[in-house]
Amino acid sequence: MDIVIIVEGKKDKARLSRVLSPEVPIYCTYGSLNSERIEKLRRAAGDRQVYLFTDNDASGRKIRAILCDVFPDAVQIYTRKGYKGVEGTPEEYLIRQLEKAGLEEYIVHPDYVPDGERPRLPAPGGLAAVAGFRAGK
């Protein structure tokens, strides 16, 4: 894989993993950066193209600024201010941002229920009715 994505936390990683190919490595800063963690990220990224996807809050901007110094050629991916970080960003919006960053080939379009909606229940009679079975036969 010739790319890596760096996010803040494991919930961000889990959220992005839902819409990215499993081969795309996603690394976490775990909300803070020290010289040891920076060096681990640098080694993990190697010569690959780095994409930074941090939250649009004070902490995320601070982490992004530090990582921009470490990875000056990194591609920046942003979430919208109204969302609660990467982990709270709707999948449709994540996909659009990944497409804008040129990562179309790595996107997995999940079969999912849009955020905030509940799955629809089968027709009266349950799953058997949907499948064409009748009770008692």
User: For residue 38, is pLDDT > 70?
Assistant: yes
Range of the domain at 18: 3-110
Domain-located, residue 134: no
Domain-located, residue 33: yes
Give the best-scoring range by mean pLDDT among 44-53, 107-116, 128-137.
44-53
Domain-located, residue 74: yes
Domain-located, residue 125: no
Q: Are 79 and 103 in contact (CB under 8 A)?
A: no
The larger pLDDT score, comparing residue 132 to residue 108, is at: 108
Domain-located, residue 20: yes
| Mean of pLDDT over the chain | 83
Domain count, the chain: 1
Q: Which residue has the tokens 């349950």?
A: 126
Domain-located, residue 25: yes
What percentage of the chain has pLDDT greater than the value 70?
A: 79
Q: Are 66 and 72 in contact (CB under 8 A)?
A: no
What are the angstrom distances between the C-alpha of 89 and each of 18, 49, 94, 111? 12, 23, 7, 17
C-alpha–C-alpha distance, residues 69 and 72, integer Å:
5
Identify the band that residue 48 occupies on the pLDDT scale cut at 50, 70 and 90.
Answer: very high
Q: Could you tell me the CATH number of the domain that includes residue 75?
A: 3.40.1360.10
